[in-house]
């Protein structure tokens, strides 16, 4: 039963079987230990950490008395999830890494994938994004090789969580939606309502509050129907976060209190830690400083390891408290510490994950299709082998072999054509037919490599259509898509032949300008904005007038890494938006301290 899939181990039928075993008084120590471990596994999968630890405590002395490797490994496997839920992240990570080395050549693929996914999630909590990506890469291989829809959906979910940690909310939304799509396609194999709650929280972080509340309501209904107390608590927490963002602080506190009452029933410390921080944030907004400070301390007490990782956020909250008290010098010092810690954790990792993880998942569909073709070729090979055994029909066999050769060439031609088409699709934005984010980063990397020895220069423009959400809301997404295509066309006709434009997100574009100084790049950006402002959109819908915000920068020899140029352009775009939009903001080299 320990090798059952995760969905099977979460079901009530599994609980009944294990409970019947525990009621059998004739069990030996090995069977008693395994039954208690499996019962703990059931409870931790259903987010009841307190009950899970109770059964693990019963199992521990039994495991020690038996001292069998397979039983020890099973205990460690479940203990990883319990330790993480209790907030003991360092121990959970150590146990998971040691266990994987022991069992990677012994366990079934879907169980190995589950262990590696947990390792990736814990590394993400530690802000160790390189290690997290490496674990996710292994998990993807396990999910493809085992063809396990549950594992595939959970891998997408962890990718969404990772991007959410890195504040890339559009990517998080995309991966949570992928997880939900897999769940809908395989309702009997995948059942994880948390996907809806995670997606709701990402919509909230992306300022799409109506969608967030709609999904939160759906999550709550499903959680109540299935009696899932932890998920009900999480739904209350997401609602509270939406209300906090909407400055409805009293309503947020009511939701947090409901979440806290439910959380105390299951005792998951990591969730309690997050709740206390949300309480602190809401109380600060209401000016209830003492209550905010108390919840910060309670958060630290409930999960000290997580608090160490969140040092930048805790100092930000403490800075807000000191500012409310009028202690501005202390508030400034705390805010400076928070800023340094944040930059140290996120600056390099965000670029790394964006470039690497996107490329891995863009190849997933191609990998599946290639495997299907390999299976087809394998079947044909078996077909040939079968007919070779009939020597008395040699002539028919020769003809068959010739046909198979032709079929092989046809399959090879078909494979190459599909591979070429898929590669082109993976590099092209489907709406505008422009290069997509992945292709633009490849081109930009090539341009950067040429420029590093000092042989040439290039400039970079990142621009974003101002108030594009208003166009979608007022005229509909079909008009918004046409506006995006029109903007792409205007930009292409305005740029030079050697310039490259690509669409890197919803309404955001990137332009590479080879052999172009910052001054010339500024002129191009101003010309584009003038073209947008003067463009006619009445054939699409009356009342559409557009402007854009531009971040413009130039490569310098001080830019040792490509992400230094990209991050600078992105921060300049943010500055343009912050200063009122409809403008071009630029800087020379690294003289951008005003954006820090």
Whether 184 has a pLDDT exceeding 80, the answer reads yes
pLDDT, greater one: 212 or 411? 212
Closest CA to 50 of 264, 298, 258: 264
Using DSSP's 3-state secondary structure scheme, residue 4 falls into coil
Same domain, 388 and 441: no
Query: CA–CA separation, 163 vs 349, rounded Å?
Result: 11
Q: Is the pTM of this model over 0.85?
A: no
Same domain, 582 and 489: yes
- pLDDT reported for residue 239: 94
- pLDDT reported for residue 372: 38
**Listed residues 392, 426, 460: the one ending a domain:** 426
Ranges of H-type helices in 326-393 = 328-362, 364-388
Query: CA–CA separation, 231 vs 532, rounded Å?
Result: 46
Query: CA–CA separation, 349 vs 357, rounded Å?
Result: 11
**Structure tokens, 344:** 């140290």
Judged by average pLDDT, the poorest of 133-147, 518-532, 542-556 is 133-147
Digit-coded pLDDT (tens) for 57-101? 999 999 999 999 999 999 999 999 999 888 788 899 999 999 999
Which phi-psi region, left, alpha or beta, contains residue 87 (left: φ > 0; alpha: ψ -120 to 50)?
Answer: left
- Residue 527 included in any domain: yes
pLDDT, greater one: 267 or 530? 530
pLDDT, greater one: 374 or 526? 526
Confidence band (pLDDT; 50, 70, 90) for 272? confident
Kindly state the percentage of the chain with pLDDT values over 70: 84
- pLDDT reported for residue 202: 93
Instruction: Output the domain CATH number for residue 546.
Output: 3.30.70.270
**Listed residues 426, 454, 477: the one ending a domain:** 426
Judged by average pLDDT, the poorest of 201-215, 224-238, 400-414, 532-546 is 400-414
- pLDDT reported for residue 561: 86
Sheet holding 458-465, edge to edge: 500-503, 508-514, 458-465, 548-554, 583-587
Same domain, 452 and 550: yes
Digit-coded pLDDT (tens) for 309-340? 677 778 888 888 888 888 888 878 888 887 77
- Residue 460 included in any domain: yes
Digit-coded pLDDT (tens) for 9-44? 888 888 899 889 888 888 899 999 999 999 999 888
Same domain, 405 and 518: no
Q: Based on the structure, what is the number of domains in the chain?
A: 2
Same domain, 417 and 464: no
Whether 480 has a pLDDT exceeding 90, the answer reads yes
What rounded mean pLDDT belongs to the chain? 83
| Long-range contacts, 182-185 (Cβ 8 Å, 24+) | 182/149, 182/152, 182/153, 182/156, 183/149, 183/153, 185/149
- Residue 584 included in any domain: yes
Same domain, 398 and 516: no
- pLDDT reported for residue 532: 93
- Residue 406 included in any domain: yes
**Tokens 């839920």, residue located:** 85
- Residue 96 included in any domain: no
Query: CA–CA separation, 237 vs 112, rounded Å?
Result: 32
How many other CB atoms sit within 10 Å of the CB of residue 130? 12
Query: CA–CA separation, 54 vs 222, rounded Å?
Result: 28
- Residue 160 included in any domain: no
pLDDT, greater one: 309 or 564? 564
**Rounded to the nearest 5 degrees, what angle is found at the Cα of 238, between the Cα atoms of 233 and 241?**
125
Same domain, 392 and 523: no
Same domain, 442 and 400: no
**Listed residues 382, 405, 426: the one ending a domain:** 426
Same domain, 458 and 577: yes
Digit-coded pLDDT (tens) for 355-406? 544 444 344 434 434 543 554 455 456 655 665 555 556 676 678 788 887 7
Same domain, 461 and 376: no
Half-sphere exposure of 280 (CA within 13 A, CB side): 23
Whether 352 has a pLDDT exceeding 60, the answer reads no
- Residue 547 included in any domain: yes
- pLDDT reported for residue 129: 73
**Structure tokens, 558:** 């001080």
Same domain, 489 and 540: yes
Domain extent at residue 500: 437-595
| Long-range contacts, 225-229 (Cβ 8 Å, 24+) | 226/193, 228/46, 228/47, 228/193, 229/47, 229/48, 229/262, 229/265, 229/266
- Residue 14 included in any domain: no
Judged by average pLDDT, the poorest of 260-274, 315-329, 431-445 is 260-274
Same domain, 504 and 576: yes
Whether 296 has a pLDDT exceeding 60, the answer reads yes
């Amino acid at each position: 039963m320990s090798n059952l899939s995760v969905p099977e181990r979460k079901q009530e039928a599994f609980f009944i079987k294990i409970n019947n075993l525990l009621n059998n008084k004739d069990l030996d120590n090995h069977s008693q230990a395994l039954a208690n471990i499996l019962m703990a596994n059931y409870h931790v999968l259903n987010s009841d950490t307190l009950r899970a630890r109770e059964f693990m405590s019963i199992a521990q002395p039994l495991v020690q008395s038996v001292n069998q490797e397979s039983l020890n490994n099973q205990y460690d496997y479940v203990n990883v999830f319990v330790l993480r839920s209790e907030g003991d992240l360092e121990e959970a990570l150590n146990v998971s890494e040691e266990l994987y080395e022991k069992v990677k050549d012994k366990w079934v693929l879907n169980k190995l994938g589950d262990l590696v996914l947990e390792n990736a999630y814990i590394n993400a909590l530690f802000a160790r994004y390189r290690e997290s990506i490496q674990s996710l890469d292994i998990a993807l291989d396990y999910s493809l090789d085992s063809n396990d829809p549950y594992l595939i959906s959970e891998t997408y979910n962890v990718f969404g969580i990772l991007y959410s940690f890195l504040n890339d909310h559009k990517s998080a939304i995309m991966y949570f939606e992928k997880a939900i799509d897999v769940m809908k396609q395989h309702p009997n194999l995948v059942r994880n309502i948390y996907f809806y709650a995670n997606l709701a929280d990402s919509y909230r972080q992306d300022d799409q509050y109506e969608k967030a509340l709609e999904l939160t309501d759906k999550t709550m209904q499903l959680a109540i129907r299935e009696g899932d107390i932890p998920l009900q608590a999480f739904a209350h927490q997401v609602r509270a976060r939406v209300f906090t963002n909407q400055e409805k602080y009293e309503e947020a506190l009511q939701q947090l209190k409901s979440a806290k009452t439910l959380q105390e029933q299951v005792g998951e410390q990591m969730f309690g830690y997050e709740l206390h921080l949300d309480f602190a944030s809401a109380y600060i907004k209401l000016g209830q400083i003492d209550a905010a400070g108390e919840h910060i301390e309670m958060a630290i007490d409930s999960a000290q390891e997580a608090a160490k990782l969140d040092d930048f956020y805790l100092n930000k909250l403490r800075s807000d408290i000191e500012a409310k008290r009028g202690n501005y010098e202390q508030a400034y010092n705390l805010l400076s510490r928070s800023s340094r810690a944040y930059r140290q954790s996120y600056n390099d990792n965000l670029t790394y994950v964006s470039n690497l993880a996107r490329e891995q998942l863009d190849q997933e569909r191609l990998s599946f299709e290639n495997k299907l073709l390999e299976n087809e070729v394998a079947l044909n090979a078996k077909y040939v082998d079968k007919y070779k055994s009939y020597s008395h029909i040699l002539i028919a066999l020769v003809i068959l072999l010739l046909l198979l050769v032709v079929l092989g060439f046809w399959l090879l031609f078909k494979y190459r054509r599909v591979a070429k088409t898929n590669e082109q699709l993976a590099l092209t934005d489907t709406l505008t037919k422009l290069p997509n984010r992945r292709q633009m980063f490849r081109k930009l990397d090539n341009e950067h490599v040429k420029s590093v020895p000092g042989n040439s220069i290039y400039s970079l423009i990142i621009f974003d259509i101002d108030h594009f959400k208003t166009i979608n809301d007022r005229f509909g997404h079909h008009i918004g898509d046409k506006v995006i295509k029109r903007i792409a066309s205007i930009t292409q006709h305005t740029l030079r032949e050697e310039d490259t434009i690509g669409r890197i997100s919803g309404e955001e574009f990137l332009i590479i300008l080879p052999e172009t100084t910052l001054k010339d790049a500024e002129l191009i950006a101003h010309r584009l904005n003038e073209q947008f402002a003067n463009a006619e959109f009445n054939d699409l819908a009356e009342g559409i007038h557009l402007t854009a915000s531009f971040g413009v920068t130039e490569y310098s020899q001080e830019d040792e890494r490509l992400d230094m140029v990209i991050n600078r352009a992105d921060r300049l775009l943010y500055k343009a938006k912050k200063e009122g939009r409809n403008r071009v903001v630029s800087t020379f080299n690294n003289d951008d301290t005003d954006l820090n």
